[in-house]
Each structure stands twice: as structure tokens, then as C-alpha cells.
Amino acid sequence: MSFFGGSNMYGGYGPIKILNGCSISVEPGEVSVIVGPNGAGKSTAMKALLGLLELTSGDVFLDGKSIDALNTRQRVMAGIGFVPQTENIFPGLTVDENLSMGGYLRADSVADTKQEVFKLFPILGDRRKQLAGTLSGGQRQQLAVGRALMTNPQVLLLDEPTAGVSPNVSAQLLYEISNLKTRDMAIIMVEQNARQALEIADTGYVLVMGENKFTGSGPDLLKDSEVKKTFLGG
Amino acid sequence: MELANAFLIFANYVLVPSITYGAQLALGALGVTLIFGVLRFSNFSHGEMMSFGTMVTILVTWVFQKSSISIYPLPTALLALPIGILATVCFSLAADKIVYSYYREVKAKPVILMMASLGIMFVLNGAVRLFVGPGDRQFFDGERFIVTASEVKAYTGLAEGVSIRSTQAITVFISILLFVLLYLFLQKTRAGTAMRAYSDNRTLATLSGINSQAVVRITWILAASLAVVAGVLYGLDKSFKPFTYFQILLPIFAATIVGGVGNPLGAVVGGFIISFSEIALTYPYRKVVLYIYPDIDLNGYILQLVPTDYKFSISFTILVLVLLLRPSGLFRGVSL
């Protein structure tokens, strides 16, 4: 069994079934990327991993134990960090305060973790007293990732971190995210930007209609002619 | 000399009263703005919360007076104030548990919460009249003046003087103290930052592990405390009459909206704008003008722009103008 993930997940919103038995998992120090067409259930799968969506069947597990019974807050406390796609910062708080709130649950001092985040994203350090709402798109995403890192998570879930960010910045951002692997963090990312994301993926999942259509290492999937034809535009 | 007289009379009848009234409105508006910033609805029961807390304070004041407990030269009501605050905080927490929490759970629209607050308003409104009746009550005791007009006249040798009542000084002192404390709480403490974060982005705050129930509780405690302090200070300065506390909701809402709903600094500035407008526009300037232009023939006019009976039309007009011209208020609102 993998370190973290969900297996045979079924679920949806009321009568609408979105997940039809998909399985996603990740190991420490690896990046799993979920790609697929619109409406394939990518974000829904991530919500299920976080406990924001109740599964009708299937399991979510962390470190060998089922965490189905935990609610979102408890999962965050158990070491799962989450970066939502939108509204992922507190615009009226300063950069520094955003990070403090990210580490709200921690009983110990968050100062060291803040320094690490500033090392990872130096621009945030320069702007620590600035209101988060005044940051640029790329800086906001960096802050959103930084905020999620403040709990020192073992697992980091990112829902389209490069959405609405210019191509240069998004390449940079993906590079920085993949660097987190060196800290033995397990990373699962949903990405619209399939080609760029698969390049850094240890495992890529192509979801279609809530099912695993293709699974493989990122570079392999990029080479696969069928994946290329159907999802990467030839 | 004449200018000094004009200024003193202006200060006595416009400046000093509007600073006092403005501080009282600001305290009320801060409560409304906190509730809106965190719970996202306009709390129509705020005036009645002021009234309820003031009533409890008055009842306790009477008990203290009977048992000759006093803090002369300060009014006994200040000693009773914490009990009034406690009672109102308990009431608002109970109201939140019994009424508002349900609507939050079902994710009701803000307008439904607002209507619920209207219901709470009627409940409190009735309760207060049941306990102490609708009549006008004075509950001030202690030293009335800090400086009287005649003392100022004797000291300066001028024809006009300015008096400062102790209730005015107490109001300003307590208000400034509370403004500073609230600012420090919101900006410098963990709980205050969590409250601002919750107000900014509820979902993310919950994801970050901020306990929404605790935030809601702190918000009610702050809003109810500010409401009671505002109510008692207003009552000490003027008098306690339940109907007046119902009416004061309009200037308080106007102050909140002028400053930008959800913005504490805006609420304070808004309070002073409304109070100054209300008092300055209803004051008859005849004497002030005659000091500056002694030879002018005013033909019996008292130079009052708006009759005192229409003072509420001023808040209302400002409210409408702000909503038309700058709906988000002077300081952009909607998060703490």
C-alpha cells in the first residue's frame, strides 16, 4: 500500500456520480499529477482525499491507516496540507499574518517554518508586511503554497496551482513545487496544464469520467501515443 | 475677542456634544460592523442590545444605590456596567445558539439572518418594556461637571464659556480606551488575527484549523460589550428611554455604512461624521453669527438649517447619499 491516497473511490454530489472507482496515491518524496479533460472528476477526487466530499465507497488512507472517519480539519491536523484553486489566501491580512494563520493549529513556534517558506519563495520574505491582496497572481500562488506548508505537512494537495498564472511563472512555480520532494513530502497536484505538469510527475493519473484511464510515470505518459492524441493535442 | 466668543459658543453647543455623541455612535457602529464582518448580516437587534444592557446596568445601579455603594465622583452606573455587559453577552450567546447558529448551519442567505435579528430585536424590545416600562429614566449620579461655563467665563473674562460635563469626559475617555484595545486585539493577538482571517475567507480559515465557533463567540462577546458600553454612556449623558434606543439604530447604521461596513476604523470615523452632521445642522447659529458680524440684521432668523425634530432625516440623507455615490463606504468595507 502506498503512503497516502484513495482507492476505488466512488462518490459525487447527490444523484450525480462523479468518481467511478478511481484510485490515486503518492509516496513520500514523489509528485503525483492528476490530469484529464474537463469534468473528469480531478478536483472532486482531491476533495474526496481531503474529506470535503463524502465517498459512497472506497478508502482514503494515510501512513497505513484509514482516515475515512476524519473530517477535513482533523485531516489537516494529521498532516495533509491543501492549496485550494481559488480564494487560497487571506487578502486583507499581511503576508506574514497569512503564514501565521497557516500554522494556526501548531502549538510550537512557527518562526522556523516561516523562514523556510521565505527561503523557498524569497519574494514573500521581501513583502512580509504587505497585504496579501496586493500581490501579483504568481506571488499569490506562492503565498498559497507557503500558507499550506506552515503546518509542516507530510502530504501536500494542490488544486491547479498554476491556474491564472502566466506560462513563465507557472513553469517556475511547478519547479519550486517539485523541489519540495527533497523534503520527503508527498505531493498530489491537479493540473489543467497537463504537459508542463507531467514533466515533473513521478506518477501521472489520467482521469476520464471518474475512472483511471492511464497511469504511469510522467515522462512515459508524455510519450504514450494514445495519451498524446487524446489529451495533449497530438 | 468676539471671535473667541463665537468659537466658545460653537464649542459648547456643537463641538463638545458631537464629539461625545460621535464616540457613542462609534462604539455602537463598531459592534454592528464586527457582526457584519464576521457573521455577514446586519444586526437589527443592536439598538435593543444596547437598551437591554443599559436596563440591566440601571437595575444593578439601583441596588448599589440602595446599599450605598458608590464610587463618587464617578457615576455608580460605571460600577454596575460590567454586570450589564455580562448579562447582554450571555443573552447574545444564547440567541446565537438558539437562533442564529441554525441559520448558519443551513447556510441561509444574509437577509434571513437579518430577519432573524429583527425578531430578536422585538423580543428584547418587549422584554425591556416589561421590566422597566417605556418611560424616561435618569440614572446619573456623581459629580455633574468637570468644567462649568461660568468657571470658564470667570477665568477668561469672556461673555461665553464652554462646559464639559463629566459624562462627556467619561464617554471620550472610555471610547478612546476601547478603540485602542480593540485595535490591539484585532491587529496584534492571535485570536484577533484569526477573527480577521475568518472574516476575509471563511473556507480557508476553516481549512487552516481556525475554530469558527470560537470566532463567532468572540465576535458576539465584543459586539455585545461594545453595545452595552455605548448604551450606558449614551444613557448617562442624556437619559434612558427604550424608544430612543430603538431610534438610535438609524444613526448607528448610517455611521457603519458611511465608514464602510465591516471596517472598524470606518465605523469610528462614520460615527463622528454622523454626529457632527446631525448636531451641526440642527444648531441655530444666530448667536455665533452675531458675535462675528455684530452689525448684521438677522431679521429674527435663528439660522437653524434643520429643525431638531428632523434630526433623523440627516442620518437618513447621508445614508442614502453614501449608498448612491460610494456604496462601499469611505474605507472599503466587508472584511475586518
Q: What angle do helix axes B190-200 and B212-237 make, rounded to 10 degrees?
A: 100
Cα A194 to Cα A180: distance, rounded to the nearest angstrom:
19
Q: pLDDT tens digit string along B186-222?
A: 999 999 999 999 999 998 998 888 889 999 999 999 9
pTM beyond cutoff 0.95: no
Any alpha helices (H) in B14-156, and if so which ranges?
16-39, 46-66, 77-95, 101-105, 110-132, 149-156
Which of B200, B215, B263 to substitute to test the interface with A, most A CBs within 10 Å?
A: B200
Is residue B55 helix, strand or coil? helix
Q: DSSP string spanning A68-95?
A: TT--HHHHHHTTEEEE-SSS-S-TTSBH
Give the type of residue at B158: L
Cα B252 to Cα B254: distance, rounded to the nearest angstrom:
5
Minimum distance, in Å, between the CA of residue B202 and any CA atom of chain A: 9
A76–chain B Cβ distance below 8 A for any pair: yes
A100–chain B Cβ distance below 8 A for any pair: yes
Cα–Cα distances in angstroms (integers) from residue B333 to residues A52, B238, B316, in the given order: 30, 31, 19
Once rounded to an integer, what is the mean pLDDT over residues B132-157?
91
Once rounded to an integer, what is the mean pLDDT over residues B25-39?
96
Once rounded to an integer, what is the mean pLDDT over residues B252-261?
94
Number of neighbours of residue A102 by Cβ within 10 angstroms = 30
Q: pLDDT tens digit string along B42-89?
A: 999 999 999 999 999 999 999 999 999 999 899 999 999 999 999 999
Number of neighbours of residue B238 by Cβ within 10 angstroms = 16
Give the type of residue at A150: M
Contact A101 B194 (CB under 8 A): yes
Least CB–CB distance from A82: residue in B193, B194, B207:
B207
With beta carbons less than 8 A apart as the criterion, state whether A24 and A202 touch. Answer: no
A222–chain B Cβ distance below 8 A for any pair: no
Contact A87 B205 (CB under 8 A): no
With beta carbons less than 8 A apart as the criterion, state whether B101 and B221 touch. Answer: no
The predicted complex's ipTM stands at 0.85
Cα B204 to Cα A51: distance, rounded to the nearest angstrom:
14
Minimum distance, in Å, between the CA of residue A98 and any CA atom of chain B: 8
If you compute the radius of gyration of chain A from its CA atoms, what whole number of angstroms results?
A: 17
**A28 HSE (CA, 13 A, CB side):** 9
* Residues of chain B found within 8 Å of residue A91, distances taken between Cβ atoms: 200-201, 335
Minimum distance, in Å, between the CA of residue A145 and any CA atom of chain B: 12
A108–chain B Cβ distance below 8 A for any pair: no
Residue of chain A with shortest Cα separation from B194: A101
Per residue, the 3-state secondary structure of B242-309, as one string, reads HHHHHHCHHHHHHHHHHHCCCCHHHHHHHHHHHHHHHHHHHCCCHHHHHHHCCCCCCCCCCCCCCCHH
Q: pLDDT tens digit string along A182-205?
A: 888 999 999 888 888 888 899 999
Minimum distance, in Å, between the CA of residue A227 and any CA atom of chain B: 35
Query: For residue B55, what is its C-alpha cell?
Result: 436596563
